[in-house]
Structure 1
Amino acid sequence: MRCRMFGREVASPIVVGSGPASFDADAMIALAKAGAGAVVTKTINLEAAQNPTRHMVQAGAGTLINCEKWSDFPMGRWLDTELPKAVDAGVPVIASVGHTKQDAAACVERIEDLGCLAIELVSYDESTVLPMLEETRRRVSLPIIVKLSPNSPDLVAHARRCVDAGADALTACDSMGPALLVDIETGAPVLGGSDGRGWLSGAQILPFTLEKVCSLRQGLAGIDVPIIGLGGVTTCQAAIQMAMAGATYIGVCSAAILKGPAFVTKLNLDVDAWLSSHGHESLDEICGEVLRHLPQKEASYHMTWDEKTCTRCGRCVRSCPYGARSIDEEGVMRVDAARCRSCGLCVSLCRSLGLA
């Protein structure tokens, strides 16, 4: 899975995104040893963040909701201690910097001097991103990544402006929200903070991220800009989908938090095995594969049944909203063609097909 990233050979195309899993140098070193191709720091700001108690909780399988801010350490500690230690240990470090032009001006030259792989700029306000980018581009020759927000009113147009202003790559995207969880015993928000709201990340946002990455590849056609697909990758299958949607590199964040560095090792092995079993040598060979199928043409679709592979679990029968499927006393599946609407739900639920 070794590949080139921003001119350097790295262990894999997996990028651990900015978050608690990379909160300091030791954590970043562990991720690199596990096989991460690059590790993004928690976002570096002049001041350390003050987070409320209970600022990150699980919100369903493989999913988190958080109201966390930026790094718990001030900029000085990153520049003097954490970044030098990580770089000296051989970690391909992407330094996340936010959220203003002033923050960027205060640290990007030091980040370049320390030998980081790249800089990732992040802001929750689109109006500040371009000034940050222009200031950073003026000061350093290091590759610059802009982290895009999924809440952008026009993601593709914003991305194009960033590329035109000097961005070398894009991260798509950030966590989604605002989002809310409620404690049913107290009626209070599960998260701390003044309003209890947070941002969703992990498995549940994968379909949204795939759409964003695909839209960027379509909208930036002809522009050779790497995209780090970040948001929802918790399995090998999700990583493959991310590449097929158009991601150059595979970003992971919530899964690395929930499962630790071992998740990175397993993901590398699983993706490598999938590629090999499908006759591919690298993710590059499937990058943007979905675009070949767009726009889709309407095709005939007919539900059938295979007696040899069916386990008679009954999931397709229970879940058919049209009552089109039934299993008789002999275990034979009956499909009522007049009632079937070819929605495809039964296919997606079928364990014997390996899709569920």
Structure 2
Amino acid sequence: MADLTTTLFGITMPSPFILASGPLSYDATGLWEAYRAGAGGVTTKTLRLEHAINPTPHMVVPRSSNLRGTLFNTEKWADLPWQQWVEQELPAMQGHPGVLIASIGHTPAEGEVIAGPVAATGVVNAIECVAYTKDTIVGLVRTVRERTDLPILAKLTFNWGDDLYPAAEAALDAGADGFTAIDSIGPTLQIDIETGQPTIGGVGNKAWMSGAAIRPVAQAVVAELVARFGVPVIGTGGIIQAEDAVEMTMVGATALGVCTAPLLRGLEWFGKTHAKLSAWLDAHGYARLSEVRGAALPHLHAVEDTQPLVFAFDPMKCTKCDLCVVLCPYDARTMAGDRPKSPDLKQILDEQRCRYCGLCVEVCKPAALTYGNWPR
């Protein structure tokens, strides 16, 4: 079995998967359950001066089958007082395996009060700073750094748009050692079309989206952070299956944060996905997960590529579904011949109409139509 051992801030974890801050990390019991299920690390709910009172309901799944593995939520931060975390929940984590991350938010004033006592418990390995604005995250990191020598992760959100990377750089300057990327995306709104009613509680019934739908966004952010700053990043957002974990690692993630997958599939997800990830690596000739870390980064293009694509067609694979013809937005493809998987089949491309978008190759399930010069 391939070795999935992962090191974060000098601490060895038996698995790359870290339970992200969320419903499953509600208290020490939840954290221990995640460890026993196979998590290599855990992150507490975000501690604030005022404990949360959540709207109801505050977790719903999308009504569209096209958004499987995705979750909408209006859940807030820790609903236990921060003092209880310091006095009971964190001390109960004594002797924990792997990494224990304490999440603190959302303002410098809160970090000033909470960070010292959290660090003083002696059981926390790192602190994750969470804020809603780029300016606040920098101040929070600076305040926490003044109160502890523990590694600090700045949790970043795609919701900051163009300010994300300047905020990341400023957080490093303020004392952060790495990042958690990304937080959930939103706001979102879902309506039950049978009743016209919203599906989730909260002001305006607007929610935050996590899970499969945000993984490509998370990966773009992780890749950019690793390329720009070269510091540890816990790639978080949309890892549902072992192949997702491989992809997130290939864009440079040091460790893998997960929340939605174990929520929707149960804590046994950790053990099952660990085994499947190890098996994938074995099947592809890798002895350890670290061998694929950052493997995709050298292949990312520094400039835009506009070279026309070259297509290859294998008539013996073609099932004559005609999707490449029907779905071509430019009406550039036609097919000659009627018998599936026959040497008589021919693909005819009108190069004057073709824009080389690649949709025809993407919809060809039997891979009868492929590229001759991509990737490059």
TM over 0.5: yes
Name the SS for the 1:85 alignment partner.
Answer: helix
In the TM superposition, residue 163 of structure 1 has moved relative to its aligned partner by: 0.9
Cα pair distance change 1:29/1:245, threshold 3 Å? same
| Distance (Å, rounded) in 1 between the aligned partners of 2:360 and 2:244 | 21
Q: Which runs of structure 2 are paired with 1:1-356 in the superposition (5 Å)?
A: 1-59=4-62, 60-90=67-97, 92-114=99-121, 115-152=123-160, 153-220=162-229, 224-293=230-299, 294-295=301-302, 297-310=305-318, 315-316=323-324, 318-323=326-331, 324=333, 326=335, 328-331=337-340, 332=342, 333-338=345-350, 340-352=354-366
Tell me by how many angstroms 1:225 deviates. Answer: 0.9
Q: Secondary structure at the match of 2:132?
A: coil
Segment drifting more, 140-149 vs 86-95: 86-95
With the length of structure 1 as denominator, give the TM-score of the two structures: 0.90
Q: Describe the shift of the 1:335–1:138 C-alpha distance in structure 2 as closer, same or farther (beyond 3 A).
A: same
* Counterpart-to-counterpart distance in 2, 1:325 and 1:37: 53
Distance 1:130 1:340 in 2: 48
* In structure 2, distance between residues paired with 1:76 and 1:313: 63
Identify which range, 167-176 or 303-312, moves more after superposition.
303-312
Aligned-residue offset at 1:83: 1.8
Moved more, 260-269 or 305-314: 305-314
User: How many angstroms apart in 2 are the aligned matches of 1:83 and 1:328?
Assistant: 70
2:127/2:150 contact within 8 Å kept: yes
Pair member with larger Rg: 2
Answer yes or no: is the 8 Å Cα contact 1:182–1:190 preserved in 2.
Answer: yes
For structure 2, list consecutive stretches of 5 or more residues without a partner in the other structure.
368-376
Q: Is the 8 A contact 2:8 2:254 kept in 1?
A: no
State the TM-score, normalizing by the size of structure 2. Answer: 0.85
How much does 1:68 deviate?
1.2
In the TM superposition, what is the alpha-carbon distance from 1:91 to its structure 2 partner? 5.8
Report the Cα offset of residue 344 of structure 1.
2.2
CA distance in 2, matches of 1:34, 1:150: 30
The CA deviation at 1:8 is 1.4
Count of aligned residue pairs for this structure pair: 351
- The 8 Å contact of residues 14 and 98 in structure 2, kept in 1 or not, is answered as no
SS in 1 for 2:249: helix
d(CA) in 2 for partners of 1:283 and 1:290? 14
- Going from structure 1 to structure 2, the CA distance change for 1:234 and 1:346 (only over 3 Å counts) comes to farther
